[in-house]
Amino acid sequence: MLFANIPGLQETKDLLIRSVTNNHVAHAQLFHGLDGSANLAMALAFATYLNCEDKQETDACGKCSSCLKIKKLAHPDVTYIFPTAGGKKVLSENFMKEWREFVAEKPFGGLSDWLNFVEIKQGNIPVEEARQLIQNLSLKSYEGGYKIVIIWQAENLHTATANALLKILEEPPEQTLFLLVCSSMDRLLTTIISRAQRVAIRNFNQDEVIKYLMKKGLDNEERAAQIAFLSDGDMNKAEELMEQKIQNEQEWFANWMRYCYAFDVSKLIPLADEFDTFTKETQKGLFEYGLRILRELFLYTQSAEQLVRIEGEELVFVQKFSKVFNIGNLEHIIGLISEAHFHIERNVRAKIAFLDTSLSISRLIR
């Protein structure tokens, strides 16, 4: 990770670089920022910069052997500690393969993303981890640069682990740096906070999110702006929204109809926001799917059960909703969705088209 890979946040990058130039690098630093911020990314970029063999004015070189090793999260002098599970003997080093994949895939990911990634329910940092670390730090650095320990999700340090680390945090061996990364400061032990210099990582702003998404290949600036608005500075969420594909059209459509039937505006508005972030193709695809199901429903209500070509969940949906829909309103609803499909094709704002259609359907089926 280089500073250049992190969108914006120039003020933080300058501050960190200045600390190196002025020879004022604190030996324990706390990178705190909310979920979806660059708290981990910034610590990684700083670690890269610190050990770079050819530091540039505004970034690490990205080419020297140290930079390349840190990029792969395989530098022998950089240790990573993060929540794991499976008993006190399970240490972060046993999860390095997954950790490397995770950081490459979700550099702004949070704890729940990580736990999902490794398929564990609850993670913690056991005291065994501290013992092992203290032992490793007593050895000399392999490559002559800083020995760096990155503790991700420091708020999940077990109390015993945190206590075991207090002394070494206060007086680390020579050329050793601790970069603690946390997303909720209020859960971090005050004894840890008081031993570290804070580096506040603010949320990304609207502009930074838009630029990043466009750089990642999103070619629609309007959609990028919608996603930036919805994700509210959480870059991980923004990336997820950008890549969002409908896993299950049936479920999505069934929920939509349920909310319409219940006239549940508190559900319909967020659904419209979500709909707004989909690509035009996905939006049209959902409407096309709905039209297909409603045509089956039409046949079903005509007692043409033998003509219905669907099965499973879709059939259950049709059977259930056959009580709500009748020939009269079905024709209207099919007309409304076809019209919305047409409007989206013509670039009418998707959120408005979706909400209008939802409210009209609600009125028809009540």
Element (H, E) at 150: strand 147-152
Among 20, 25, 26, 64, binds Zn ion (CB under 5 A): 64
How many Å apart are CA 304 and CA 232, to the nearest integer? 49
Among 17, 67, 154, 353, binds Zn ion (CB under 5 A): 67
How many Å apart are CA 360 and CA 2, to the nearest integer? 51
Taking CB under 5 A as the binding criterion, the range among 61-69, 85-93, 119-127, 324-332 that sits at the site for Zn ion is 61-69
Q: Which of residues 166-225 bind Zn ion (CB under 5 A)?
A: none
Minimal distance, residue 3 CB to Zn ion, in Å: 12
Among 25, 26, 61, 246, binds Zn ion (CB under 5 A): 61
How many Å apart are CA 55 and CA 45, to the nearest integer? 12
Which runs of consecutive H residues, i.e. helices, occur in the chain? Answer: 10-21, 39-51, 65-71, 96-105, 111-118, 127-137, 159-170, 190-193, 206-215, 221-231, 235-243, 249-261, 265-277, 280-301, 312-321, 327-345, 350-365
Minimal distance, residue 282 CB to Zn ion, in Å: 41
Beta strands in 57-97 (DSSP E): 78-81
Minimal distance, residue 73 CB to Zn ion, in Å: 15
Number of residues this chain uses to bind Zn ion (CB under 5 A):
5
How many Å apart are CA 171 and CA 47, to the nearest integer? 19
Minimal distance, residue 75 CB to Zn ion, in Å: 11
| Contact map string, positions 23 to 52, toward Zn ion, x by CB under 5 A | -----------------------------x
Q: Which CB atom, from 45 or from 91, has the smaller least distance to Zn ion?
A: 45
Taking CB under 5 A as the binding criterion, the range among 8-16, 59-67, 90-98, 101-109 that sits at the site for Zn ion is 59-67
Structure-block tokens of residue 249: 């059209």
Does 60 contact Zn ion by CB under 5 A? Answer: yes
Minimal distance, residue 64 CB to Zn ion, in Å: 3
Q: Which CB atom, from 16 or from 52, has the smaller least distance to Zn ion?
A: 52
Minimal distance, residue 50 CB to Zn ion, in Å: 10
Taking CB under 5 A as the binding criterion, the range among 60-68, 111-119, 247-255, 259-267 that sits at the site for Zn ion is 60-68
3-class SS of residue 198: strand
3-class SS of residue 80: strand
Q: Which CB atom, from 54 or from 251, has the smaller least distance to Zn ion?
A: 54
Q: Which CB atom, from 2 or from 271, has the smaller least distance to Zn ion?
A: 2
Q: Which CB atom, from 64 or from 214, has the smaller least distance to Zn ion?
A: 64
Beta strands in 153-261 (DSSP E): 176-182, 197-200
Minimal distance, residue 45 CB to Zn ion, in Å: 12
Long-range contacts of 331-336 (CB under 8 A, 24+ apart): 331/298, 332/364, 333/294, 333/361, 333/364, 333/365, 334/291, 334/294, 334/295, 334/298, 336/360, 336/361, 336/364
Minimal distance, residue 68 CB to Zn ion, in Å: 8
- Check residue 53 and report its DSSP letter: S
Q: Please report, as ranges, the residues that interact with Zn ion according to CB under 5 A.
A: 52, 60-61, 64, 67
